[in-house]
Amino acid sequence: MELRTLAERVAEKFPVRERDLRRTFEALLTTDNLWEVLDLTDIPIMTFCELWKELAQEGLVEVKDSSLRLTPKGRELAAFLEITPLRDFACPRCKGRGIEIEPLKEVAEEFKAIARSRPEAIRDYDQGYVLEEVTVARVALMWQKGDLAGLNLMVLGDDDLVSVAASLTGAPKRVTVIDIDERLLDFIQKVSDKEGLKIQVLKHDLRYPLPEELQGAFDTFITDPTESFKGMKAFLSRSLSCLKGPGSAGYFGFTRREASLKKWQAIQKFLLEKGAVITDIIDDFNVYANWPYMESMRAWEHLPARALPQKEWYKSAHYRIELLEKPGPDTEVFPVDLYDEETATV
């Protein structure tokens, strides 16, 4: 039994490589929990579901009491291929992020208290926010890199409440938020008024270019784009257009849970073409709280087991870019549903 042959069969429908199959076996030797397997494999969910069906058909895997397992035949193949369980060397202190948030303890506590009454994530805008400690770590990272103190920060879409955590440090000169969700804008405005944070709160639909006064006006952007290629392009085009120019920096999360590496490559090409250089990609930096509309995800009915996750499992890498050249005018309108799940995955 060749892993390659199996991979090639699935690859007719989804981009699966021999490596992905190997990793799936490694993950199944490490845990029997669906969500942990999804976390470990780094394969887009829909691709994983497709792959699972093939493996089940071959009699290599099975589901028992909602647990994912290799069958005796599957274990035999794993042994033959000398596949072993995965090793986890993530630093237990910073969870592999490399960032220490202890010096921002007071900010973190204030932020957590505020976030307790945040609006819940809704499906309409593909929302899903990161853990509070992650929002604080994002702020610490920007500060360390010299992208926060005394500078103008733009947050494009802010269900993670980065604008609030950043403002609580007192470091940035000015913080601006744009979002399409009025619940969020109201919440941030109220927090800002109450805490005296002076956050500038604006409603904007990212399918359209930014208003002129926001273009070329910021030192740093941070955003957490949706995963469709068009959505990603829209988020990043607007983000780049708000920067002053060479030396300005930007941050965004991008996942492998829903986006293939092919899409990663396309996004990287797009960024380089726009005059940016990638300075950091920190894997699994962003960990997302489980969102309430999980059972209405497109992938849900394709999953091999349908027990809701008990722990966080959805993660994304955190990118940092710097501009070397001006990205050029941003005029393209994206008259589509940026959050459409059909285009958003794989």
Of 28, 16, 5, the closest CA to residue 79 belongs to 28
**Binding of its own copies at residue 57 (CB under 8 A)?**
no
C-beta closer to its own copies: residue 247 or 328:
247
**Binding of its own copies at residue 29 (CB under 8 A)?**
no
Longest dimension (CA), the chain: 65
Provide long-range contacts, Cβ within 8 A and 24+ apart, for 331-336.
331/209, 332/209, 332/233, 332/234, 332/237, 333/207, 333/208, 333/209, 334/207, 334/230, 334/231, 334/233, 334/234, 335/207, 336/207, 336/230
Give the contacts of 174 (CB within 8 A, at least 6 positions apart): 152, 153, 198, 200
Name residues contacting its own copies, limited to 170-199 (CB under 8 A). 171, 173
Which of 59, 72, 103, 211 is in the footprint of its own copies by CB under 8 A? Answer: 103
Cα distance between residue 346 and residue 344, in whole Å = 7
Q: 3-state class of 253 per DSSP?
A: strand
**Integer-rounded Cα radius of gyration of the chain:** 21
* 155 and 178 Cβ atoms separated by less than 8 Å: yes
Which of 114, 154, 317, 346 is in the footprint of its own copies by CB under 8 A? Answer: 317
Which of 1, 113, 272, 336 is in the footprint of its own copies by CB under 8 A? Answer: 272
**Binding of its own copies at residue 318 (CB under 8 A)?**
no
Site mask, its own copies, residues 222-261, x = CB under 8 A?
------------------------xxxx-----------x
Please, what is the minimum distance in Å from the beta carbon of residue 53 to its own copies?
Answer: 21
Please, what is the minimum distance in Å from the beta carbon of residue 316 to its own copies?
Answer: 12
C-beta closer to its own copies: residue 15 or 119:
15
Residue 78 is which amino acid?
A
Please, what is the minimum distance in Å from the beta carbon of residue 341 to its own copies?
Answer: 23
Which of 43, 55, 70, 83 is in the footprint of its own copies by CB under 8 A? Answer: 83
CA atoms within 13 A on the CB side of 299: 22
**Binding of its own copies at residue 59 (CB under 8 A)?**
no
**Binding of its own copies at residue 99 (CB under 8 A)?**
yes
C-beta closer to its own copies: residue 127 or 286:
286
Residue ranges that bind its own copies, judged by CB under 8 A: 17-20, 22-23, 26, 81-84, 86-94, 96-101, 103-104, 140-141, 143-144, 146, 149-150, 171, 173, 246-249, 261-262, 264-265, 268-269, 272, 276-283, 317, 322, 324
